[in-house]
Amino acid sequence: MSPNNDITTSSLQNIDNNGPLLSLRWAEDRLFLLDQRLLPEHIEFLELTTPEEIWDAIASMKVRGAPAIGISAAYGVVLAARIYDGEPSGWLAHVTKAAEYLATSRPTAVNLFWALNRMKDRAALLAEEQPEIETRNLGLMAEAVLIHQEDEEVCRLIGEHALPLFESGMGVLTHCNAGGLATAKYGTALAPFYLAKERGIPLKVFADETRPVLQGARLTAFELQQAGIDVTLLTDNMAAVVMSKGWIQAVIVGTDRVAANGDVANKIGTYGVAVLAKAHGIPFYVASPLSTIDLSTATGQDIPIEERPESEITESFGKRTAPVGVKVFNPAFDVTPHEYVTAIITEKGIVRPPFNTNLPALFDK
């Protein structure tokens, strides 16, 4: 069934003809979450009302992409607080425990911990200043909404800073999905493509399909096509050939965590793309909100890399595609060493090497 035949009433409210499909929406005391596992075949929104449901949606990648999982987890804390029916003296411990539980859903994207820390800090202040549980819960709600709204603005700014890097007619390769679906709106790596479209600047986007769970094919190709952006889908092993043909003038990807020295964790396969870009003299850009920069992690070697179930590799296209019992290695992310990164584009502007001094400077401004 084509996606357009399958759009439900609730999803229609999320489609704005000039922009991307929104992956998250808070309404009616619940989180409406676009189930990204079902794309591009079905556009279906889940209605989540408990922290356990949010934990499961993050762990099973119904919601994915660093900023989107941070926002979802923040709403998870709101839902946990609303369930609390004890004395005001136990409220903070309950909320903190819920945040710690939500933090166990996925290990690599630092936005998850960043958002949960913000919620915990807010909860601590509210517990100090507000005697009423209801007022505290409203305060937590306001913080989650702020995290959500700020992300949209941050993504738009990343797009504004990145756009001048791309000239009219350029071919730009991206890996995984760092688009509107992975964020509140616009995305990080895909934000300049939306702005280019708005301003009539033609770009040719090449999307790697991104094995094993195909975020490039299912999500990036889908959302760019929906927005009328010129996108060509490639399998991951075609990146070298399109670069050698001279079709790619830049690479831009998102990230799950940037270490203090500029090493970048992103979807498995990103490192290979960066090495290929260097071999072909093509700039390799990383779009990253400040919330994804983790100065407390010294280098990429210190970033925890999630390993996902073997079935993501042994079962594809709805059937078994590898022998039963074969050994499998399935890391969800890799680390691109900073020497392959031409620049990191943030909401505060473009950061170039040396990253170990230029990244901390971003937080002083």
Ligand X SMILES: CSC[C@@H](O)[C@@H](O)C(=O)COP(=O)(O)O
Interacting residues with ligand X (CB under 6 A): 64-67, 109, 176, 178, 182-183, 187-188, 215, 254-256, 266-267, 332
Closer Cβ to ligand X, 140 or 176, answer by number: 176
Cα 197 from Cα 70, distance rounded (Å): 28
Instruction: Tally helices (H) and strands (E) across the chain.
Output: 13, 16
Joined tokens for residue 200: 């009539």
Closer Cβ to ligand X, 197 or 267, answer by number: 267
We find the least distance from the C-beta atom of residue 109 to ligand X, in angstroms, to be 6
Cα 251 from Cα 339, distance rounded (Å): 15
3-state SS, 146-213, equals HHHHHHHHHHHHHHHHHHHHCCCCCEEEECCCCEHHHCCCCECCCHHHHHHHHCCCCCEEEEECCCCC
Closer Cβ to ligand X, 171 or 269, answer by number: 269
Q: What is the DSSP string of 73-108?
A: HHHHHHHHHHH--S-GGGHHHHHHHHHHHHTTS-SS
We find the least distance from the C-beta atom of residue 187 to ligand X, in angstroms, to be 6
Task: Give me the residue whose beta carbon is nearest to ligand X.
Answer: 254
**Exposure string for 83-104, b = 16+ CB within 10 A, e = fewer:** ebeeeeeebbebbbebbebbbe
Tell me whether residue 36 is annotated as binding.
no
Tell me whether residue 182 is annotated as binding.
no
- Does the annotation count 334 as an active-site position? no
Closer Cβ to ligand X, 196 or 273, answer by number: 273
Tell me whether residue 65 is annotated as binding.
yes
We find the least distance from the C-beta atom of residue 275 to ligand X, in angstroms, to be 17
Joined tokens for residue 109: 């994207």
We find the least distance from the C-beta atom of residue 270 to ligand X, in angstroms, to be 7
Tell me whether residue 82 is annotated as binding.
no
We find the least distance from the C-beta atom of residue 69 to ligand X, in angstroms, to be 7
Residue type, 146: L
φ, ψ of residue 297 in degrees (nearest 5): -105, 115
We find the least distance from the C-beta atom of residue 179 to ligand X, in angstroms, to be 7
**Strand partners for 173:** 206, 251
Q: Indicate which residue of 208, 256, 263, 294 is catalytic.
A: 256
Closer Cβ to ligand X, 95 or 155, answer by number: 155
Residue type, 60: S
Closer Cβ to ligand X, 81 or 182, answer by number: 182
We find the least distance from the C-beta atom of residue 52 to ligand X, in angstroms, to be 20
Tell me whether residue 66 is annotated as binding.
yes
Tell me whether residue 64 is annotated as binding.
yes
- The arrangement of strands across the sheet holding 24-27 comes to 24-27, 30-34, 45-48
Joined tokens for residue 254: 């998102």
Closer Cβ to ligand X, 118 or 267, answer by number: 267
Cα 151 from Cα 199, distance rounded (Å): 22
Whether 70 contacts 114, CB under 8 Å? yes
Cis before 131? omega within 30: no
* Binding-site residue positions: 64-66, 106, 215, 266-267
Task: Indicate which residues carry an active-site annotation.
Answer: 256
* Binding-site residue positions for substrate: 64-66, 106, 215, 266-267
